[in-house]
Amino acid sequence: PSAALALLGSSAAAMVVWKWLGNRQIQKKMEEARRTRDEGVKKMAKVVQQFREQVPSVQTDAILSLPLMELTRRLREGSLSPKTVLYMYLEKALEVTRQTNCLRHFIPECEEQLQEIQRQEEKGLLYGIPVSIKDHIGHKGHLSTCGLVQCLGSVAQEDSVLVKVLKRQGAIPFAMTNVPQSLFSYDCSNPTFGQTLHPFNPQKSPGGSSGGEGALIAGGGSILGIGSDIGGSIRLPSSFCGLCGLKPTAERLSTRLLNVDVCSRPAPVPCAVGPMARDVDSLALCMKALLCQEMFRLDPTVPPIPFDEEVYSSSAPLRVGYYDTDGYFPLPPCMRRAVQETRGALQAAGHQLVPFSPPRIHYVMTELFLKTFFADGGRTWLDVFTGGIVDPSLKPQVNGCKIPRLGKKLLALILRPLQFLLLLLKLKNVATISTCRSVKEMWNHHHEIQAYRTEFIARWRELQLDVVLCPVLGPAFTTGYPGKLLTAISSTMLYNVLNFPAGVVPVSTVTEADEEELKLYRGCCDDPWDRTLKQAVAGAAGLPVAVQCVALPWRDELCLRFMKEVETLSREK
């Protein structure tokens, strides 16, 4: 017995030492990644300083304030040089990331690309335009981390198709932006590179998962960015930061050589990549540049459908469906006000407005969207958290996934008599989310998603709608709150399940009257969930307020055309 006890004790000690050594290795990798990032920032600051010394008379604000359409015109005609534009944006990006921690890494090869575009025989549609890209969009020679420790050694061996096409069109990718850990969050924080802050209010989050893009572009450090969206990850940062952002039909742009597999992105609800910018014309130009023969050649899975300029430029009146709540998660008063005011402006401009109600959102949220991600109870997702290192913003979801299936059922049973049923239903993603227990159940789940899409399109067709105007989550949350309110994203998540193109346009700002009305907000029934939302959005006076514009699949140009109409009317107002 004494020998057995000694053996057991030594085994336990060895296990503790082994775990400590593993954690130490992880910490070293994280420290090395931060050190590499910081050295890159210092090198870029030095390069910018040298340029400043050579050309001290450059008018920074005059260049940075130019809209993308005007900037491309001046670059193409030669009145501005790509070198000057690049270094001005590098300088501004340095300033913005010092304030917000939005950059994961500068791309030093941008100077090589600067030389390359000057050797190109034809000037592409994005000639000389500095472009920022989200962390997991592969760029040769750089990490693609998804905010995960396990990916700190995953250096891309070649450019993603998106980056290749951007370069072919004359763009200059110059920075990769920060993301939340595993991309499965609409905050923007990970254990390696830290929390990204809102450019207008450091107490607030820029949104996620394309939060680094949102902060950089809104802060003026980039004029055009590429993000990705599987539950609102382009639209939520655009809403929080006051940008225009488009989630196209998922298959419209290539996702080849993006680091999405590690984050278990499932096929029934596909990942879409799309542009983020200051105005809708910039989004349209980016889509026009990307939807070219080079993309169709590099990725044959992308349908060869060029950008339809005629649809985007049309001025024909639209038949617009609208709603200001989806009946699942009541949004703050200012977001509903934005829809109501935009509806009135559209009606006054000659468009036909028709009330529309999306069907069965509670079913979509729990049985279609969340069940897709957690079909195996979240086990695949949990596997990506190397060494058990979990960002605080994700702990509610991670802890919920760790509860055994039987434990979840018992928890639901125990809490039911304690009148926490409604809260529990809203927290289904944490404690009682449905799973697929067999291959047959998974096939049935896929069929249910297709059946819902058919049902939704039938209702759309019945009302003869061209587009839909609806709310988007906002205004910007206080940091740390997105992790407590996962199911608040029902407004954006719906159009990922449907795979409809959807975009966000800022139309207003939070007023003092909105803040006063928020004090009276009760949500569904003033439960803890509703009170948490109220706390999350409080103190947002002056921050952007946006609406969401939606079209049917493959009608991305019509979605952009509708977004442009909303933008024009809001600016006139």
Using an 8 Å Cβ cutoff, are 501 and 555 in contact?
yes
Contact 559, 543 (CB under 8 A): no
Give tens-digit pLDDT for 55-98: 998 999 999 999 999 999 999 999 999 999 999 999 999 999 99
483 annotated ligand-binding residue: no
Helices and strands (H and E) in the chain: how many: 23, 13
490 labelled ligand-binding: no
Cite the active site residues: 134, 209, 233
* CA torsion through residues 363, 365, 366, 369, sign: positive
Q: How confident is the model at residue 419 (pLDDT cuts 50, 70, 90)?
A: very low
230 is in an annotated binding site: yes
Domains of the chain: 42-303 (3.90.1300.10), 316-375+436-572 (3.90.1300.10)
Q: In this predicted model, what pLDDT tens digit does every residue of 174-233 receive, in sequence order?
A: 999 999 999 999 999 999 999 999 999 999 999 999 999 999 999 999 999 999 999 999
Measured in whole angstroms, the distance separating CA 480 from the mean position of its chain's CA atoms is: 17
pLDDT attached to residue 442: 86
Query: Average pLDDT of the chain?
Result: 91
Least confident stretch, 398-412, 426-440, 519-533: 426-440
Cβ(83)–Cβ(115) below 8 Å: no
Per DSSP bridges, beta strands 130-134 and 194-195 are unpaired
Instruction: Return d(Cα 111, Cα 124) in angstroms, integer.
Output: 18
Cα–chain center distance at 372: 19
- Confidence tier at 19 by pLDDT (50, 70, 90): low
Lowest pLDDT segment from 61-70, 142-151, 305-314, 372-381 = 372-381
Is 232 known as a binding-site position? yes
State residue 45's pLDDT score.
97
pLDDT(265) > 70:
no
Are 147 and 190 spatial neighbours (Cβ–Cβ below 8 Å)?
Answer: yes
